[in-house]
Amino acid sequence: MFRTAFLILSGNAAASLVLLVRNLAVARMISVEDYGIAATFALVVSLLEMASALGLQQQIVQSKEGDDPDFQAALQGFQLMRGLMSGLTLFLLAGPVADFMNVPEVAWAYRAVALVPVLNAFQHFDIHRLNRDMVFGPMLLTRLAPAVVSLLLVWPLVIWFGDYRVMLGCILVGAALGVATSHLTAQRPWRARFDRRVITGSLRFGWPLLVNNALLFAVFNGDRVLVGRELGMETLAIFSMGMTLTLTPTLVLAKSVQNFFLPQLSRLWSATDSTAERFGHMSRVALEVPFLAAAGLVVGIHLFGGPVVYILLGEKYLALLEYLKWFGVMQAIRVAKTGPSLVALSTGHTSNAMFANGIRMLAIPFVWYVAANSGNLLTIIKISAFGELAGYGLALFLMKRTVGVELRALIPSHLAIAVLFCSVLVLPAADVGFPPLHAWLILLGLLAVSAFTMRDLLRYLRGRD
């Protein structure tokens, strides 16, 4: 089991690390303003994916019909339909999107980005179906291969174009190669069919996820949209780079936790010989793992963030150092929020994340007000962090109410990590060098204390399930 967990984490980490290196290379080789424009391409792709995703990949893992070839073909048919619709929508809206972002000259590039959801519509779902049997290699390869190739393309594209078009080329080639890899690693032939029963069931399963994805776009990218629109492309580049450096490990951890725990929790929930105590124990483990990872993320960003930014990005991104610790706390809470949503999803309750992100979205109007009036980027990040905290609290409450997992055992770890986060926030901001020795001792000591307060996780690691 630990070997599987390591495979998932290392595979997701490798793919995300390669993409991070690609983004850093692009940022280093083009102007700050061009990188701001390039960042909007990823923003638009996220908008399309989040606005049309219905959790089909999770459904093939969670559903009892997941191994049925006809059910898989129906999901692939539905995926094809939604991908074509998403691509057409972006193509038609490319002009207004470019005008809204105050970059009308790149409308043609947004039309080119419309190819991404069309390509993704042909992804083979075998890479997700195999997760039911704890086989993750094809899925991880489908993520890693496109990332490596897109990284290798950066230098030739910089020589050829030298501006934001570098990122556009990387995104398009990566999408095409991802689809190709999913077919090359599949066990079954790809089929697509349109089944009204499956489409209706997918809509019923996925509508909360669809709403959640729309909210996630506001959560992930709403701040970026407002910063770019109100404060300009250079400020957007600083903000986007802060999000990229801190969000990359966040997504790795969240994706790895879901890949590893969703099949196990779903099996326990539906098994006739399972008990509430066993499911509750595994649920608390699935809550503690991302929470501990979140604490490690905050500590790592504070201890290593300054030198990493200086070495990888140079002096033109040093303004980012002022905001790093708040970025870290914000993203850490987002990692922790993965746990309750995952536990609820394993039981078929798909609305947990939707409501949690709905609370987070309430911070967007305040962000817009600050961006339009004071332009204080640090205040914007603080507002977003407190929005994430409110969303996490609601996610825990909804999970307990719908699933009934007992949460009292989590109180000591939550208190310990709250002290850790507060300590990070009162310590001086990151510098180009490493923090002083007392900062290392305080943060690593608090991290160790937090780990030892997680009783269910320690029991799981000792093999006492």
Q: Which residue has the tokens 């910089």?
A: 158
What is the reported pLDDT for 156? 92
* H helices present in 271-323, as ranges: 276-313
- Angle at CA 70, nearest 5°, toward 64 and 71? 35
The C-alpha atoms of residue 297 and residue 257 are separated, in whole angstroms, by: 14
Residue 28's CB is within 10 A of a number of other CB atoms, namely 15
Q: What is the CA radius of gyration of the chain?
A: 22
Contacts by 156-163, CB closer than 8 A, 24 or more apart: 158/26, 158/29, 158/30, 162/29, 162/30, 163/30, 163/31, 163/34
The C-alpha atoms of residue 130 and residue 135 are separated, in whole angstroms, by: 5
Q: Which residue has the tokens 């649920």?
A: 283
pLDDT tens-digit series, residues 165-218: 998 899 899 999 999 999 999 888 888 888 888 777 766 765 666 666 666 666
**Beta-carbon-side half-sphere exposure of residue 341 (alpha carbons within 13 Å):** 28
**Beta-carbon-side half-sphere exposure of residue 123 (alpha carbons within 13 Å):** 24
Length of the chain, please? 465
What is the reported pLDDT for 208? 64
CA 249 → CA 15, 212, 339, 437, distances in Å? 11, 21, 16, 25
pTM given for the model: 0.65
Contact (Cβ atoms closer than 8 angstroms) between residue 298 and residue 420: yes
Rounded to the nearest 10 degrees, how much is the dihedral formed by the CA atoms of 352, 118, 145, 69?
70
Q: Which two tokens stand for residue 176?
A: 């095409």
Q: How far is CA 223 from the centre of its chain?
A: 15
The C-alpha atoms of residue 260 and residue 256 are separated, in whole angstroms, by: 6
The C-alpha atoms of residue 292 and residue 344 are separated, in whole angstroms, by: 20
- Would you give per-residue pLDDT tens digits along the chain (465 residues)? 556 555 565 666 777 778 878 888 888 888 877 887 887 787 777 666 655 455 667 677 766 777 888 888 888 888 888 888 888 888 888 888 888 777 888 888 888 988 988 898 898 988 888 877 777 788 888 888 988 999 999 999 999 988 889 988 998 999 999 999 999 998 888 888 888 887 777 667 656 666 666 666 666 666 777 777 777 777 878 888 888 788 777 777 777 787 788 888 888 887 665 677 888 888 899 899 988 988 998 898 888 888 888 887 877 788 888 888 899 898 889 888 888 888 888 887 777 777 777 787 788 888 888 888 877 888 888 888 898 899 899 988 988 888 888 888 889 999 999 999 999 888 886 677 788 888 889 999 999 999 999 998 998 888 755
The C-alpha atoms of residue 161 and residue 176 are separated, in whole angstroms, by: 20
The C-alpha atoms of residue 349 and residue 22 are separated, in whole angstroms, by: 37
The C-alpha atoms of residue 220 and residue 226 are separated, in whole angstroms, by: 12
* H helices present in 362-409, as ranges: 364-373, 377-403
Which sign does the torsion angle of CA 119, 121, 122, 123 carry? Answer: positive
Neighbour-count burial of 73, counting CB atoms closer than 10 A to its CB (0-12 exposed, 13-18 middle, 19+ buried): buried
What is the reported pLDDT for 51? 52
What is the reported pLDDT for 421? 92
pLDDT tens-digit series, residues 400-430: 888 888 888 889 999 999 999 999 888 886 6
